Amino acid sequence: MSRCQIISLPDLSKARNRQDGASVKYDEAVYSDALRFFAKGRKYLVKTFGCQGNVRDEEVISGYLEKAGFSKTTDEKAANIVIINTCAVRENAEDKVYGEIGKFKANAKTDKDFILGVCGCMMQEENKAESLIKTYPFIRLIFGTHNIADLPSMLDRVISSHQGLVDVISYPGDVIENLPSIRLDPYKAFVNISYGCDKFCTYCIVPYTRGRERSRPLQSILDECRKLIEDGYQEITLLGQNVNSYGKDFHDGTNFATVLEEVAKLGIPRLRFTTSHPWDFSLDMLDTIAKYPNIMKCIHLPVQSGSTAVLRQMGRRYTREQYLDLVKAIRERMPECAITTDIIVGFPNETEEQFAETLTLCQELKYDAAFTFIYSPRAGTPAAKMVDNVSDEVKHERFNRLLKVVEEGVVYHSSKMVGKAYDVLVDGPSKKNEAILSGYTESNKLVNFPGPVYLKGHIVKVKITENHAFSMLGQLEEDPVDVLLRSASEKLKQEPAYIQYLAAKKVFEEDKELQAALHEKEAAQKALALSMGSEDYENKKAAFAKISAFVDNNPNYINFVSSTADLRDLFAEMKALLQ
Ligand code: SAH
Ligand code: SF4
Ligand code: F3S
């Protein structure tokens, strides 16, 4: 412990605090000369566990590391700095972390400057940091979810003091903008719309590890999305623990429907969002989802339990009936909308009858997919204090029964897909077979099909040929070259030269005086040709020169001609690229 400087440790009673409001700050990290010197030529690796929020944090952590001068590696042995980004949502998520940390002991042995950092939700739990540095003395940095933006200064201290550093803050949290970021995927992006959670479901650690629910300013979200679209992104997923409560903290009427609509209007081909809490889901939001074809008809709507009594114990704030009504409202507006869910089995004292209510709910609703979990007590949460009379054996047995019912729903939907064609956003070659491409449908169904690698990042039509329940086999329904042409034409329409050309053309066509002069010029040219060899020739020549000069000096004409030339240059450039 003496080798480690402890700046602060987490405190769940502070993490519970929801009193003062959040403020918006801007990233102002300072990269010291010592850090830049150290980073030069050294490689980093970030390993992430947990939800999409953590994946997005990895991108920000990578952003800081690259700004400092580190370069990325995927080779664990070659890494000079490794950051393990942890999850605390269930015990098994934590168990994986211990194994992962152990793996890097060898790096620390061979490289005296090796830095192992551990961060994320697990570090926000009480006693975790202390026990980690005892068990794994080669850990050199521990930080939490609230101080990622301090990474450059924390690294500077680690490098210059040759001591370890623990700095985990428990506080409600702010919003930090202008964060650096290295995106993990070139076509699909996560965009945070809110952080934290105020729901305090009784089993859940997230409100303690992530702080209060705070929304990002709408303009910051839109700026980030605009940039992604410019960079060729095909899919944006709006992220929040409860996206549906977006904007509540602004008290100005801005809500999730607003942000959905504004982002959809920017024109991203695919817009998704997660996670939706049933309690905050308004019919307005459903209408917005239904209205825009680029908002994917796919809603992740965690139910957790089908029993109203258990839901009350969980602090979920809706009943079984209210949940069913919400699903009915979704299906009335969007019959094809996929609905997926999360379910917890074995909440303390869950009776067989209560569990059976979860089964009947799943049978009735037939989810497109469901993530199922056995309840895992989390220290500091109210449920962890409940005396539980259900044995592990019973919980496992229930879990297996639930899996069967969930699978029936999955197969019900997937079997209906066979023979139909779907739009698939291609991720690239499938993990198992290089010759096969894989991607996802609007309903988030994984589809594998043969096709050329260059279709990566394109949305293509695929006909489903075989149903494998959790993934589908398909065949391309269109010529891959047509896909490229379509996408090239879409890209062309976003080129500034093309947009300028269209604007100049409009002004050119609407300038009545110019159009009349053009007609006059045409007539004068004809008259000049006819007068060739006659005595009127000089007069006609002068008339033609006059009207030509008028046209040539018209700014709208000049603009149109030059924007047409720019467009031709663009075509020439594109042709050169294709050769
Ligand atoms: N904010 C989201 C997701 C939170 S965590 C929501 O409210 O739905 C993702 C899922 O993990 C939850 O939906 C829940 O099903 C599960 N989960 C959370 N805490 C858990 C615990 N203590 N034990 C088992 N599963 C848990
Ligand atoms: Fe956890 Fe409930 Fe918040 Fe979801 S809504 S993050 S389950 S407390
Ligand atoms: Fe895990 Fe934290 Fe996400 S606990 S699920 S990484 S918010």
pLDDT tens digits, 380-405? 999 999 999 999 999 999 999 999 99
Residue 2 pLDDT exceeds 60: no
Ligand lying nearest the CA atom of residue 96: 3
% of the chain beyond a pLDDT of 90? 91
pLDDT band at 25 (very low <50, low <70, confident <90, very high): very high
Outline where 240-347 has alpha helix (H): 256-265, 283-291, 308-314, 320-333
**Looking at residue 440, what DSSP letter applies?**
E
Which phi and psi angles does 212 have, rounded to 5°? Answer: -65, 160
CA distance 249 to 243: 13
Atom number in ligand 2 closest to CA 315: 2
Residue 567 pLDDT exceeds 70: yes
Indicate whether residue 201 lines ligand 2 (CB < 6 A): yes
Residue 572 pLDDT exceeds 80: yes
Indicate whether residue 210 lines ligand 3 (CB < 6 A): yes
Q: What is the mean pLDDT of residues 422-429?
A: 97
Indicate whether residue 395 lines ligand 1 (CB < 6 A): no
CA distance 507 to 113: 64
CA distance 327 to 278: 9
Indicate whether residue 197 lines ligand 2 (CB < 6 A): yes
Q: Which of 210, 122, 120 has the alpha carbon at shortest distance from 171?
A: 210
Angle between helices 218-230 and 256-265 (to 10 degrees): 30
State the distance from the centre of ligand 3 to the C-alpha of 122, rounded, in angstroms. 8
> In the prediction, which pLDDT does 148 show?
98
Indicate whether residue 188 lines ligand 1 (CB < 6 A): no
Indicate whether residue 50 lines ligand 3 (CB < 6 A): yes
Q: What is the pLDDT of residues 287-321, one digit of tens each?
A: 999 999 999 999 999 999 999 999 999 999 999 99
State the distance from the centre of ligand 3 to the C-alpha of 293, rounded, in angstroms. 31
> In the prediction, which pLDDT does 491 show?
82
Residue 415 pLDDT exceeds 60: yes
pLDDT band at 573 (very low <50, low <70, confident <90, very high): confident
Atom number in ligand 3 closest to CA 210: 7
Q: What is the pLDDT of residues 190-241, one digit of tens each?
A: 999 999 999 999 999 999 999 999 999 999 999 999 999 999 999 999 999 9
What is the separation, in whole angstroms, between the first and last Cα of the chain?
63
Virtual CA dihedral for 145, 146, 147, 149, nearest 10 degrees? 90
Q: Which of 274, 299, 275, 277 has the alpha carbon at shortest distance from 286?
A: 299
Ligand lying nearest the CA atom of residue 57: 3
Ligand 2 site-directed mutation target among 206, 209, 373, most atoms within 8 Å of CB: 206
Q: What is the mean pLDDT of residues 467-474?
A: 94
> Hunting for tokens 């409600």 — which residue is that?
172
State the distance from the centre of ligand 1 to the C-alpha of 89, rounded, in angstroms. 7
pLDDT band at 1 (very low <50, low <70, confident <90, very high): very low
Q: What is the pLDDT of residues 78-121, one digit of tens each?
A: 999 999 999 999 999 898 999 999 999 999 999 999 999 999 99
State the distance from the centre of ligand 2 to the C-alpha of 315, rounded, in angstroms. 10
CA distance 553 to 544: 14
**Looking at residue 455, what DSSP letter applies?**
G
Tell me the one-letter amino acid at 329. A
Indicate whether residue 304 lines ligand 1 (CB < 6 A): yes
**Looking at residue 270, what DSSP letter applies?**
E
Which SS3 state, helix, strand or coil, does residue 240 take? Answer: coil
Chain-centroid distance of CA 245 in Å reads 18
Atom number in ligand 1 closest to CA 203: 22
Largest CA distance in the chain: 115
Q: What is the mean pLDDT of residues 364-385?
A: 97
Q: What is the pLDDT of residues 514-537, one digit of tens each?
A: 999 999 999 999 999 999 999 999
Indicate whether residue 300 lines ligand 1 (CB < 6 A): no
> In the prediction, which pLDDT does 432 show?
86
State the distance from the centre of ligand 1 to the C-alpha of 293, rounded, in angstroms. 30
Tell me the one-letter amino acid at 466. E
Q: What is the pTM of this model?
A: 0.90
Atom number in ligand 2 closest to CA 277: 5
Q: What is the mean pLDDT of residues 51-71?
A: 98
Indicate whether residue 87 lines ligand 3 (CB < 6 A): yes
Indicate whether residue 61 lines ligand 3 (CB < 6 A): no
Q: What is the mean pLDDT of residues 473-502?
A: 91
Indicate whether residue 378 lines ligand 1 (CB < 6 A): yes
Q: What is the mean pLDDT of residues 73-79?
A: 96
Non-local (6+) Cβ contacts of 441 within 8 A are 417, 422, 423, 424, 447
